[in-house]
Amino acid sequence: MYIVMLGPPGAGKGTQAKKLAEKLNIPHISSGDILREAVKKGTPLGRQAESYMKEGKLVPDSIVLELLKNKIEEEKRGFILDGFPRNLQQAEELDRTLREKDKKLDLVLNLLVSEKAVVDRLSARLTCPKCGSVYRKGDASYERGVCESCGVRLYQREDDKPSVIKKRIKTYLESTHPLVDYYKKRGVLRDIPGEGSPEEVFEKIVDSLGL
């Protein structure tokens, strides 16, 4: 299956995409993780992307596509895309790439979360620098500050700081939210209430997919 996770920053796209990818046994492709890895390694594309990410802006399409296109083209069994597409141009590029392989997007899961919940979640979460897992306040791993799978120290993403959070939400509303209509018109959008625990939200996804 070819699936896209949509929703504002902090909606839980990464957490849900990871769980669903495991259940369906298809890869989880996170544009944010791939970009952060490129920044960490200091590659030429990573160096170009860094300042946009720090400011909560979208990284230019040319950079994102160069990092992602091979991964998308190579996948034969399907994938769950998390964080991509983030604007109409990227959505059209994804359509084109799938069409060239005689495939099409099966489903877009749109996680619905209020703006207040997004701000609360982003400002109280820690991320694993190795596997990208996210822990919220109250999780045992958050309190210990160590990833339960990798055993490495968790960190607060630079763009999870209050001044950048506002900008990321604005960027989402301006550039990414129009994709809700784009996919609704094509009949592939499914709204999923995204508030509640990760387990509760996952159950809603599983129910909605009839798994």
User: Is residue 144 annotated as part of the catalytic site, yes or no?
Assistant: no
3-class SS at 129? coil
Task: Please report how close the Cβ of residue 83 comes to ligand AMP at its closest, in angstroms.
Answer: 3
Of 96 and 210, the one with the shorter C-beta distance to ligand AMP is 96
Q: Hunting for tokens 């508030």 — which residue is that?
A: 195
Single out the residue of 97, 106, 40 nearest to residue 65, CA to CA. 97
Report whether 5 contacts 30 (CB < 8 A): no
Answer for which of 45, 58, 80, 108 binds ligand AMP (CB under 6 A) is 58
Task: Please report how close the Cβ of residue 153 comes to ligand AMP at its closest, in angstroms.
Answer: 19
Tell me which stretch binds ligand AMP (CB under 6 A): 31-39, 112-120, 185-193, 200-208. 31-39
Single out the residue of 159, 113, 120, 153 nearest to residue 136, CA to CA. 120
Instruction: Establish if 16 lies at the interface with ligand AMP (CB under 6 A).
Output: no
Report whether 189 contacts 180 (CB < 8 A): yes
User: Is residue 168 annotated as part of the catalytic site, yes or no?
Assistant: yes
Q: From CA 198, how far away is CA 58, in angstroms rounded?
A: 26
Of 162 and 210, the one with the shorter C-beta distance to ligand AMP is 162
Single out the residue of 160, 166, 67, 71 nearest to residue 121, CA to CA. 160
Instruction: Establish if 32 lies at the interface with ligand AMP (CB under 6 A).
Output: yes
Task: Please report how close the Cβ of residue 48 comes to ligand AMP at its closest, in angstroms.
Answer: 12
Phi, psi of 146 (to 5 degrees): -130, 140
> Is 210 within any annotated ligand binding site?
no
How many residues sit in the footprint of ligand AMP (CB under 6 A)?
17
Answer for which of 5, 19, 21, 31 binds ligand AMP (CB under 6 A) is 31
User: Would you list which residues are annotated within the binding site for ATP?
Assistant: 10-15, 125, 134-135, 196
